[in-house]
Amino acid sequence: MSDNLEKLHEHYREGDNQFRIAGGVEGIQKLANDFYDQMETLPEAKHILGLHPGDLTESREKLGRFLCGYMNGPDLYKEKYGPLQLAPAHAHIPIGTDEKEAWLLCMEKALEQQPYPQAFKDFLLQRLAIPAERCRNQP
Ligand code: HEM
C-alpha cells in the first residue's frame, strides 16, 4: 500500500470518521437498504436471498443498525437487540465461499450507489471481507 493510502486508512480508523463519512445513521441505513435491494436483484445472490426471511424489513434494519456500530458510530443494534457476535449469529446458516462472495458482491454494488469517495468504498469493502470470512462455516 502507498504511504498516502496508508495515511488515508489511518484517518478512516480514527474516532467515528467512518460513521460520519458514511453519512451517519441515515447514510448507513441507506447503504443497508441498497445492499438488500441488490440481494433481491442480482442473480448471483438468489441463493443467499433464499436463506433470509421472506420479509426483509427487519434484516434491512438490523444490518443498518449493526453497521453503525461497526463503523464506530452508536451501537444501535445492541441498543435494540442486545450484543451480537457475528460468527455465532450465522452458525445456523450454511455459508461457504459462494455465499460469502455473493454477500460481498451485494455490498460492492451497494457501495457503488453511495456518494462516498472511491477510496472509502474500497476501504469498507476490504474491511467487510474480514467478518464475511469469519461468518463462513462451510468449505
Ligand atoms: C458471509 C456471508 C453472509 C451471509 C450469507 C449472511 C446471511 C445472513 C442471513 C440469512 C441472515 C438472516 C438470519 C435470519 O433472520 O434468520 C443474516 C443476519 C444478519 N447478518 Fe448476515 N450474512 C453474511 C455476512 C454478514 C456480515 C459480513 C455481516 C456484517 C458485517 C452480517 C450482518 C448480519 C446481521 C447484523 C444480521 C442480523 C442478525 C440477527 O439479529 O439475528 N452478515 N445474515
**Residue 95's CATH number:** 1.10.490.10
Q: What is the pLDDT of residue 23?
A: 98
Q: Count the domains in the chain.
A: 1
Burial, 108: exposed, middle or buried (Cβ in 10 Å; 0-12, 13-18, 19+)?
middle
Q: What is the dihedral of CA 59, 65, 68, 73, to 10 degrees?
A: -170
Q: How far apart are CA 71 and CA 12, in angstroms?
A: 9
CA end-to-end span of the chain? 30
Helix axes 97-112, 24-41, angle to 10 degrees: 120
Query: What domain range includes position 23?
Result: 3-135
Among 33, 63, 84, the mutation site with the greatest number of ligand 1 atoms within 8 A of its Cβ is 63
Pocket lining: 131 vs ligand 1, CB cutoff 6 Å: yes
Atom of ligand 1 nearest to the CA of 81: 40
How far apart are the CA of 96 and the centre of ligand 1, in A?
Answer: 13
Atom of ligand 1 nearest to the CA of 51: 10
Pocket lining: 71 vs ligand 1, CB cutoff 6 Å: no
Q: What's the sign of the alpha-carbon dihedral 112, 115, 118, 122?
A: negative
Q: What is the pLDDT of residue 1?
A: 83
How far apart are the CA of 7 and the centre of ligand 1, in A?
Answer: 31
Task: Spell out the per-residue pLDDT of the chain, length 139, in tens.
Answer: 899 999 999 999 999 999 999 999 999 999 999 999 999 999 999 999 999 999 999 999 999 999 999 999 999 999 999 999 999 999 999 999 999 999 999 999 999 999 999 999 999 999 999 999 999 999 9
